[in-house]
């Protein structure tokens, strides 16, 4: 079973204001991470299989044969899909207790590294089973090289990887424009090798997502938003541009579901999908391959995660601002409200976290903040934190 994966999440009411800290998981956009197809995928396959076994049905094989011989010009979606599909995999993760689900990944290099979402492989982290299946049906056992829960990025490696792997070309997510064509590849509801299309609907969308389980912490991103149909099971799959270059990793959806943790309450795409920009994901993946551990940029201050439109409030308390840390060195204090990071408007704590994590440790940023009704700016050099806390 899906074990409650992929469950849609309604935005939760803000918790009562308290001393702050890293309390309730509230964000500008709170959405469910996309994981297993679960029951939906299983039912779909059962019906399809029954149809295939029906002696009266010949349309499936006839269609497959006729369409394969048609030539597509290089710029078409069909041509991009045909070229990209062989470098995508359907990932199945299973915990030692048998829970798990289905997600997607793509070939990152010729050594057999596959990039996906952390929440796709989370069940297999502590000695579970992990497999990756290519569209031609070839299936490989895989192991986790490194996973970054905060970024929601993971790298796995195929065991006995084939020698003819073709990594997908990586695009430049900073150069993407609203309205650009997008192509998503994944396994929605377990339906492997599904291709959907749309456009970039927005950029720099602050997103905090969770897989809905009680133990998981949030992941934060400054996401690319797309209206390409993305559903549970698309997680970890590539979001491509019109040339077939990866511009993002499909990671989360806004859903209309009323919530709950059973597979039956899963609901699908309403055209609000979110992808981790590839420039960030590439940096994270390279770190994971190199050291096995994620590295996060940090300001050295705790911010309130409560719902807000006013800015990111540094929490009160003796440990809110790390002594000798980047924020302290920049003159920030408990109670300050950060409203901008460089030119990006900061409306909440989660937005600030997502924005900081688009930078690398050592980067210099300009922080605009309010203190007692007065607006100030200061330059801050981002510090670093290794591993998920």
Domains and CATH numbers, the chain: 1-13+23-292 (2.40.10.120), 295-386 (2.30.42.10)
Q: How many Å apart are CA 95 and CA 379, to the nearest integer?
A: 45
**84, 113, 119, 255: which one is catalytic?**
119
CA–CA distance, 2 with 41 (Å, rounded to integer): 10
% of the chain beyond a pLDDT of 70: 77
Distance CA 332, CA 369 (A): 9
Structure-token pair, residue 29 = 């956009």
CA-to-CA distance for 38 and 100, rounded, in angstroms?
Answer: 9
Q: Active-site residue 119, yes or no? A: yes
**More confident call, 44 vs 322:** 322
- Which of these ranges, 196-205, 215-224, 346-355, has the smallest mean pLDDT? 215-224
Measured CA to CA, the distance from residue 167 to residue 86 in angstroms comes to: 10
Among 235, 253, 248, residue whose Cα is nearest residue 176? 248
pLDDT at position 45 over 50: no
Q: Where are the beta strands (DSSP E) in the chain?
A: 30-33, 88-94, 100-107, 113-116, 129-133, 139-148, 153-158, 181-186, 194-210, 219-226, 238-240, 246-253, 273-277, 295-298, 312-313, 337-341, 344-345, 364-371, 374-381, 383-386
**Cα dihedral: 98, 213, 295, 343 (round 10):** 150
CA–CA separation, 274 vs 222, rounded Å?
9
d(CA 336, CA 346): 13
Q: State the average pLDDT over residues 224-245.
A: 95
Output the CA–CA distances (angstroms, integers) from residue 228 to 222, 300, 305, in the order listed: 18, 37, 29
- Give yes or no for residue 94 having a pLDDT over 70: yes
Contact 159, 141 (CB under 8 A): yes
Reply yes or no on whether the pLDDT at 263 is more than 80. no
The predicted structure's pLDDT at residue 243: 95
Phi-psi region of 215 (alpha: psi -120 to 50; beta: other; left: phi over 0): alpha
Q: Look up residue 161 and give its DSSP letter.
A: -
Query: What pLDDT is stored for residue 73 in this prediction?
Result: 84
Q: Report CA-CA distances (Å) from 84 to 167, 183, 193, 239.
A: 9, 10, 10, 11
Residue 66 token pair:
């006729």
pLDDT given at position 218: 84
Q: Which entry of 84, 87, 210, 235 is annotated as an active-site residue?
A: 235
- Asked whether 225 and 273 are in contact (CB, 8 A), the reply is yes
Neighbours of 306 (CB within 10 A): 20
Residue 347 CB contacts under 8 Å (≥ 6 apart), including other chains: 28, 206, 308, 309, 310, 311, 312
Catalytic residue among 123, 152, 241, 307: 152
Q: Residue 53: its pLDDT value, please? A: 33
Q: What is the pLDDT at residue 209?
A: 84
Kind of pairing, strands 194-210 and 246-253?
A: unpaired
pLDDT of residue 75: 81
User: How far apart, in whole angstroms, are the C-alpha atoms of residue 27 and residue 205?
Assistant: 11
In whole angstroms, what is the distance from residue 5 CA to residue 10 CA? 15
Q: How far is the C-alpha of 269 from the C-alpha of 234, rounded, in Å?
A: 11
Q: Tokens 């993407």 sit at which residue?
A: 176
Q: Can you tell me the mean pLDDT for 50-58?
A: 31
On average, the pLDDT of the chain sits at 82
pLDDT in the model for residue 119: 92
């Amino acid at each position: 079973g899906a074990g409650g994966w992929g469950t849609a999440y309604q935005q939760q009411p803000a918790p009562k204001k308290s001393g702050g800290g890293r309390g309730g998981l509230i964000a500008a956009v709170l959405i469910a991470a996309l994981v297993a197809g679960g029951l939906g995928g299983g039912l779909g396959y059962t019906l399809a299989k029954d149809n295939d076994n029906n002696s009266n049905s010949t349309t499936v094989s006839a269609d497959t044969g006729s369409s394969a011989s048609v030539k597509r010009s290089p710029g078409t979606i069909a041509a991009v899909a045909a070229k990209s599909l062989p470098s995508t995999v359907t990932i199945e993760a299973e915990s030692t207790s048998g829970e798990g689900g289905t997600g997607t990944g793509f070939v990152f290099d010729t050594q057999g590294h596959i990039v996906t979402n952390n929440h796709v492989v989370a069940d297999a982290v502590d000695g579970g089973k992990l497999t990756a299946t290519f569209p031609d049906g070839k299936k490989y056992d895989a192991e986790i090289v490194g996973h970054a829960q905060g970024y929601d990025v993971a790298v796995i490696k195929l065991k006995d990887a084939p020698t003819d792997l073709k990594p997908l070309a990586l695009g430049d997510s900073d150069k993407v424009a609203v309205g650009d064509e997008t192509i998503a590849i994944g396994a929605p509801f377990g339906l492997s090798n599904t291709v959907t299309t749309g456009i970039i609907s927005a950029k720099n969308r602050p997103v905090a997502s969770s897989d809905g389980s009680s133990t998981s912490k949030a992941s934060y991103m400054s996401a690319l938003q797309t209206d390409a149909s993305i559903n549970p099971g698309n997680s970890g799959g590539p979001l491509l541009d019109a040339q077939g270059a990866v511009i993002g990793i499909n990671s989360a959806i806004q859903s209309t579901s009323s919530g709950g943790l059973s597979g039956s309450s899963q609901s699908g795409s309403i055209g609000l999908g979110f992808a981790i920009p590839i420039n960030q994901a590439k940096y994270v993946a390279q770190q994971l391959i190199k050291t096995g551990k994620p590295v996060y940029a940090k300001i050295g201050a705790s911010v309130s995660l409560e719902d807000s439109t006013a800015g990111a409030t540094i929490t009160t308390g003796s440990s809110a601002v790390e002594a000798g840390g980047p924020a302290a060195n920049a003159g920030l204090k408990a109670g300050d409200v950060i409203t901008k990071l460089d030119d990006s408007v900061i409306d909440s704590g989660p937005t600030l976290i997502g924005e900081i994590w688009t930078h690398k440790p050592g980067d210099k940023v300009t922080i605009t903040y309010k203190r007692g009704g007065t607006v100030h700016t200061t330059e801050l050099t981002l510090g670093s934190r290794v591993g998920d806390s």
